[in-house]
Structure 1
Amino acid sequence: MKKKLLYIGVLLLTVSGIMAQEKTYGVRLGANLSSISSDDIPENLEDNRFGVVVGFLAEYPIKDRLSFQPEFQYSSQGNEDEALRVDYLKLPLFLKYNFTDIFNVHIGPQVGLKIWEWEDNAGIDANFNTFDFAAVAGIGVNITENFFADLRYDFGLSNVFDDEGVTGGADGNNSVIQLSFGYKL
């Protein structure tokens, strides 16, 4: 019983120590260059889509230069052809390492929830899955104390197409390059 109380006490002190450190919040706005990587998409439909990314973030210091940065964002993705456009609400969860006060890297998993897909009238019906899973890596630059920029790559880990849809079992993964600018409050 004493060991359990000791463990709970250490856990509470650790959590309160992390939460007591200065956390920051911010917003980010940027551009996506996205495509669906697939051998099942005809060549004339493979062009990249330019879209937007808008999001909110929180940064919680963990230790020295390491922090945890969850985000909530809207991201327009897919290909240029309207039949292959899909928009998501995304939740990336980053571990962020600051090499200096200016440069950082961040890496982590991301889950996306489909909120919109094109309703095609031209006979191509992509039928996208509701959820998207990805691995994300990026580099960031702190321009000033409040302004920052980052460049990221999202590598899709799950099939974006619904197996039950008209695409007949097509396989495809999201591939996204993001350039964004942000402001920490």
Structure 2
Amino acid sequence: MKKYVVALLLVAFTSVAMSQDILYGVRGALNVSNVDFDPDADFENKHRNGFAFAGFVDFSLSDNLSLLTELQWSAEGAEERNLRADYLKLPILLRFAISDDLLLGVGPQIALKTWEYEDAFSTFAFSGVAGLEYMITDELFLDARYYYGITNILEEDVTDVEAKNHVIQFGFGIKL
């Protein structure tokens, strides 16, 4: 069912933007991620540094508004080896140009787990995303994003503990 919803969203967003300007690009980022536990963890919960790599499509909706869809691989979790997982993520950001060089974006994200150290992670995770992008030139940009985990990333039949990913990304990209 989730696959159908994602496919439907992609088709809907693609058809809306077909008559508009479309930009493509690639992006790399440094991740600083952690897992927030409920109830609190009984161990020292440290962040994990990792990387993210992505390709994106940016659909211009008007002079100041665009819709960015990205396919991203991201290393997330916490420093503890058994709390590490990698994801294939699909953020969809509605972006507003604050100025000629600065954009603000917000939106949802679905993530598919591609690897985990221990088999206790859920297959899918949902997050909210917010970020700022600064255009260095017409093609090069720097950005910062915050991903706030909405769903439990741990399998409910494995543990009663609820855990959510929280990720800060510092990125660099190029529009092709």
TM category, shorter: 0.7 to 0.9
Q: TM-score, normalised by structure 1?
A: 0.83
Identity rate, percent = 37
Specify the alignment match of 1:184 in structure 2.
175
Specify the alignment match of 1:31 in structure 2.
30
* Number of corresponding residues: 161
Return the alpha-carbon distance in structure 1 between the equivalents of residues 90 and 98 of structure 2.
Answer: 24
Following superposition, the deviation at residue 100 of structure 1 comes to 1.5
Following superposition, the deviation at residue 41 of structure 1 comes to 2.5
Specify the alignment match of 2:4 in structure 1.
none
Secondary structure of 1:20's match? Answer: coil
Following superposition, the deviation at residue 169 of structure 1 comes to 1.4
Confirm or deny that 1:55 pairs with 2:54: yes
Following superposition, the deviation at residue 20 of structure 1 comes to 2.8
Following TM superposition, the consecutive aligned residue runs of length 4 or more in structure 1 with deviations greater than 4 angstroms are: none
Following superposition, the deviation at residue 51 of structure 1 comes to 0.5
Following superposition, the deviation at residue 137 of structure 1 comes to 0.2
Query: CA-to-partner distance for each residue in 1:44-64, whole Å, 9 max, x for gaps?
Result: 2x1000010100111111122
Q: Which has the larger radius of gyration?
A: 1
Confirm or deny that 1:164 pairs with 2:157: yes
Return the alpha-carbon distance in structure 2 between the equivalents of residues 79 and 137 of structure 1.
Answer: 21
Confirm or deny that 1:153 pairs with 2:146: yes
Following superposition, the deviation at residue 164 of structure 1 comes to 1.3
Secondary structure of 1:26's match? Answer: strand
Secondary structure of 1:42's match? Answer: coil
Match of 2:122 among 101, 121, 129: 129
Alignment RMSD: 1.3
Following superposition, the deviation at residue 42 of structure 1 comes to 2.5
Return the alpha-carbon distance in structure 1 between the equivalents of residues 40 and 28 of structure 2.
Answer: 32
Specify the alignment match of 1:173 in structure 2.
164
Contact 1:40 1:172 in 2 (8 A): no
Secondary structure of 1:83's match? Answer: helix
Q: TM-score, normalised by structure 2?
A: 0.88
Return the alpha-carbon distance in structure 1 between the equivalents of residues 124 and 68 of structure 2.
Answer: 21
Q: Which amino acid letter does the alignment assign opposite residue 43 of structure 2?
A: E
Secondary structure of 2:170's match? Answer: strand
Following superposition, the deviation at residue 40 of structure 1 comes to 4.4
Secondary structure of 2:145's match? Answer: strand
Specify the alignment match of 2:41 in structure 1.
41
Specify the alignment match of 2:68 in structure 1.
69
Return the alpha-carbon distance in structure 2 between the equivalents of residues 158 and 50 of structure 1.
Answer: 21
Secondary structure of 2:82's match? Answer: helix
